[in-house]
A and B are shown apart, each in its own frame.
Chain A
Amino acid sequence: MTTDERIVVTATINGEERTWLSSSRDSLLEALRERIGLTGAKEGCNNGNCGACSVLMDGRLVNSCLVMAAECEGANITTVEGLAEGDELHPLQTAFLEEAALQCGICTPGFLISSKALLDWKPNPSEEEIRFWLAGNLCRCTGYDKIIRAVEKAAEEMRS
């Protein structure tokens, strides 16, 4: 049996410094959802295969289920809750709504974060590049068609 130590972690989450008590066995996903109360990142598999738990860690796209909470000391983390600014939705959020790129919506936080990471890195991706980039995010409802179109639309919007 693994020992379960209590640890104190401090990190910047969506621009706000947060300090919380974690178990040494908590993943970042568990810490976000069960300790901090940010449930936007979702658990679909808990082993890196679905992308529903995607967050940005120091600007890098990670599966938060594969990051230990203890590794986050001092890190800068962005979750779906941190995408919108003030009254303004992020262009990706608007495009997902307008293009009906979600049905059940459980994969949506992961797709939004993943797509943001893509567009931050490459503002003008081709359809094929979007498809390959998002291959780590599973959606079982939409067949991806409208998600790809939404990302294309947001990219266009953000370039203009």
Chain B
Amino acid sequence: MVATPEKPNTDKPAYKVVGTRPVRPDGVDKVTGRAEYGADIKLEGMLYGAVLRSPHAHARIKRIDTSKAEALPGVKAVATHADFPKQESGSLDLGEGSANPLWLVENVLAGSKVLYHGHAVAAVAATDLHIAEDALALIEVEYEVLPFVIDVREAMLPNAPILLDDLRTNVRAKGVDTPKDVPTNIALHMRLEKGDIEQGFADADVVIEREYTTAQAHQGYIEPQNGTAFWNRDGQLTIWCSTQGIFSVRSQCATLLGLPESQVRVIPKEIGGGFGGKLTVYLEPIAAVLSKKSHRPVKMWMPRADIIRATGPTSATHNRVKIGVKRDGTITAAEVNLAYAAGAYPGSPVGAGALCALAPYDIANQRIDGFDVVTNTPKTQAYRAPGAPASEHAVEATLDELAEQLDMDPMELRLKNAAHEGGTNSAGQPWPRIGATAVMEAIKNHPHYTSELHGEDTGRGVALGFWFNGGMESSSSATVNSDGTVSLILGSVDIGGSRASLAMQLAETLGLTLDEVHPHIVDTDSVGWTGVTGGSRTTFAGGWVAYDLGEEIKKRVVERAARMWDVETDVVSYADGVITGPPDADNNPRSMTFKEIAKQLQRTGGLIAVSATSRRNTQGAAFAGHIVDLHVDRETGKVEILRYTAIQDVGTAIHPSYVEGQLQGGVAQGVGMALNEEYYYDDEGHVVNASLLDYRMPVANDLPMIDTQLVEVPNPGHPYGVRGVGEAPIVPPAPAIRNAIYDAIGVRMYDMPMSPRRILEELGPQNGSAS
């Protein structure tokens, strides 16, 4: 184990709260079991809901008969697709991605067709969960089984089974003809193009082209999806759930149920992980319908097998990369072709994958094609840096091979082509100040990079990762209490410490301690519209709001002090929680602490309550660089991670422990994607590893300590220099591990995950020690 190296000195101002590591405000609740997560709710008269799911990968629903289930004692309501109003095609914003209500309602409960094994078909509410489950067995569904397609390449073939009869390819690629008006599984063909690609390859000394596949992986949050609803007789619908975005759940439910948004109130419960997978609704609208029919609150949560089969994995992908370089390492051209499986309905993250693929590099001539393809697998959802791990893996892996062919250090090759301020990204937009070079330099200078590697079959790999980071809208309000504390009212759910990071920014602004700011997360009726907790935006956008609130409170406190002292406001100042005015008539200095004035607010014109909204988009990109040492067991094909270092440009780390935690968590998920996580389908299109034993996520003894180095280049577009940190660290692990495996045993892996079985296959029969 190695100590985390000292973080490099930066031009960060001296903060009192920002940059410290206090205990989080919700901490005690979470270590004593008191924190209430979605499934912990209990309401008077509450029923339990359960969902019947498709046993087929693709089938037409001929008939559903629920009468026997309805007759079972204890059953209070049954729901099918027929209980939902008809939807028009459109677009609902999910924060990270969007959903067409036409398909969203089909995904919630299937209409005429089921499109994947586990697709929801009907639901029951009963007085007891066991009764609800028994009732599911009494529902009769007649299916006409149809041919299915799981693999993204097969789904693109002209003779592939068609999932959606009305689907036609949306072409957003210059120079590509619109295809004929025939059914297809290709929902989108998009293209990004810059420079002259043919000329670029003509100028290259070395050109290599490689193909890669990545497997469908699940976000793997430990808390199951859940939703509890009560549809009151006055038409008001209340929903309790664990979601990344309460306002998004409100608009999805209102649309699917045909209600005005004002009739839907969403109350957030604590959320046990999301990683992008808890943006879309699954159970909430079903619980609502069951509640409407039974006039009782209905609680639902998903069994783990259903979570794996029916909630959002990330895309399985098939990607091709061709890169040309000059002998000196200058990349002259890059061509990237990405095919992403969207699952049952269009909407894979191929667009983001395309924008990220070449982002860390300044490449004059490039063309990136992306295909969004429907397959008989669960509808994909956002998963940490959606779309980026697959496309960037292909590029990082190819660069490693190029570096070898050029006999160059892999970091030198990257540095030579690093994206920089003033250059443009793949969409042709200019880069602001970015940390690509800083991160690459930090890798090169890290003691891990130059340390000696010991032992047989051990290897080292490096790779870069990039993610944009979102901004979007956040709202909050704050009230000054008479005891000198401030209540901070939030619309962002806290998935990994945002109560702390936002309260800390308000405390810093006001010169208070964290204990003096009380963050509260409230429902959709109690705070202004706030975007989802996702896309690494919460600490950034919420921090802006906290800052604005703090500045507004300061202004009002100064005004009040001026009035109390009977002086002009411009001679009163506020610093470090102390208000100072000019000396009084007797030349005595005048000052008050925040606490002192808070006590007097009520008598001097009323308490101070403020609210603010931020819509700034000055987030700035995040670059991550990882170094991994590993050992490959030639006999079993098992990869053991020996040492791991994650370096990242994090802007300012508000609470460094949670920033490190984001990096470490991202690495663990990336390692899982790289080495083990995938869906196994049998020849009937069934998911056969739908348990947490068979869907193998990293456990404590799969990983070493994960060292982090926070490169703090403050974001100039934020009062405290915040930049999102959560997404980027999931990107580099797979290519870094792949490059290290090559270093260890001389085998290049092109398919993920690099499981023991695949490694043994690649090692082949000549694998000496296997005999």
Contacts and interface: CB of A to CB of B under 8 A. Distances in A.
A141 B661 contact: yes
Contact of B222 (A4, A84, A98, A139): A139
A156 B23 CA distance: 20
Interface stretch (B127-135, B413-421, B431-439, B587-595): B127-135
A148 B705 contact: yes
A64 interface: no
Given A46-B303, A93-B31, A112-B31, A137 B40 contact: no
Interface stretch (B161-169, B628-636, B695-703): B695-703
B273 A100 contact: no
A100 B223 contact: no
Contacts of A46: 303-304
Contacts of A138: 220, 222, 692, 697, 699
Interface in B290-308: 301, 303-304
A33 B40 contact: yes
A30 B33 contact: no
Contacts of A8: none
B275 interface: yes
Interface stretch (B80-88, B558-566, B662-670): B662-670
Contacts of B39: 33, 39, 42-43
Interface in B639-666: 655, 657-658, 660-662, 664-666
Contacts of B220: 138, 140
Contacts of A84: 32
A131 B700 contact: yes
B699 A83 contact: no
Interface of A is mostly: loop
A34 B274 CA distance: 24
Nearest to B670: A143
A31 B31 CA distance: 21
A149 B1 CA distance: 12
Contacts of B303: 46
A131 B704 CA distance: 9
Contacts of B28: 89, 93, 97
Contact of A137 (B30, B664, B700): B700
A19 interface: no
B657 A40 contact: no
A100 B21 contact: yes
Given A83-B32, A102-B30, A112-B31, A135 B700 contact: yes
Interface of B is mostly: loop
A45 B23 contact: no
B20 to A, nearest CB: 12
A147 B33 CA distance: 17
B223 A106 contact: yes
B42 A144 contact: no
A126 B485 CA distance: 43
B700 A4 contact: no
Contacts of B223: 42, 44, 104, 106
A39 B698 CA distance: 26
Interface string B4-42: 000000000000000001011011101111111101101
Contacts of B31: 80, 89, 93, 96-97, 102, 105, 108, 112
A12 to B, nearest CB: 17
Contacts of A89: 28, 31-32
B658 A40 contact: no
Contact of A140 (B23, B42, B128, B273): B273
A123 B36 CA distance: 31
Interface in A94-145: 96-100, 102-109, 112, 127-128, 130-132, 134-145
Given A80-B32, A137-B700, A104 B272 contact: yes
A44 B305 CA distance: 11
B661 A146 contact: yes
Interface centre among A33, A136, A143 (most CB of B within 10 A): A143
A4 B130 contact: yes
Nearest to B275: A140
A105 B700 contact: no
B271 interface: yes
Given A135-B701, A143-B667, A98 B23 contact: yes
Interface centre among A45, A130, A131 (most CB of B within 10 A): A45
Nearest to B36: A39
Contact of B24 (A1, A97, A135): A97
A40 B32 contact: yes
Contacts of B30: 102, 105, 108
Contacts of B700: 130-132, 134-135, 137, 139, 144, 147-148
B38 to A, nearest CB: 10
A43 B692 CA distance: 12
Nearest to B29: A105
A39 B33 contact: yes
A109 B33 CA distance: 6
Nearest to A23: B130
Contact of A99 (B36, B655, B657): B657
Contacts of B42: 34, 37
Contact of A143 (B37, B40, B497, B706): B706
Interface string A79-96: 111011000010001001
A138 B699 CA distance: 6
B693 interface: yes
Contacts of A93: 28, 31-32
Interface string A1-26: 11010000000000000000001010
A102 B272 CA distance: 11
A57 B39 CA distance: 23
Closest A-B pairs by Cβ, 7 of them: A40-B33, A106-B272, A143-B664, A100-B657, A143-B668, A105-B30, A103-B496
27 contacts: A2-B134, A43-B224, A44-B692, A45-B304, A49-B304, A49-B692, A50-B222, A80-B32, A89-B28, A97-B24, A97-B28, A100-B24, A100-B658, A103-B495, A103-B497, A105-B31, A106-B223, A127-B1, A131-B701, A134-B699, A135-B699, A138-B220, A138-B222, A140-B219, A142-B665, A146-B664, A149-B705
Given A46-B304, A140-B220, 17 more contacts: A30-B129, A34-B42, A43-B39, A44-B692, A45-B691, A50-B222, A93-B31, A97-B24, A97-B27, A97-B28, A103-B273, A103-B495, A104-B495, A105-B31, A107-B222, A135-B701, A137-B699
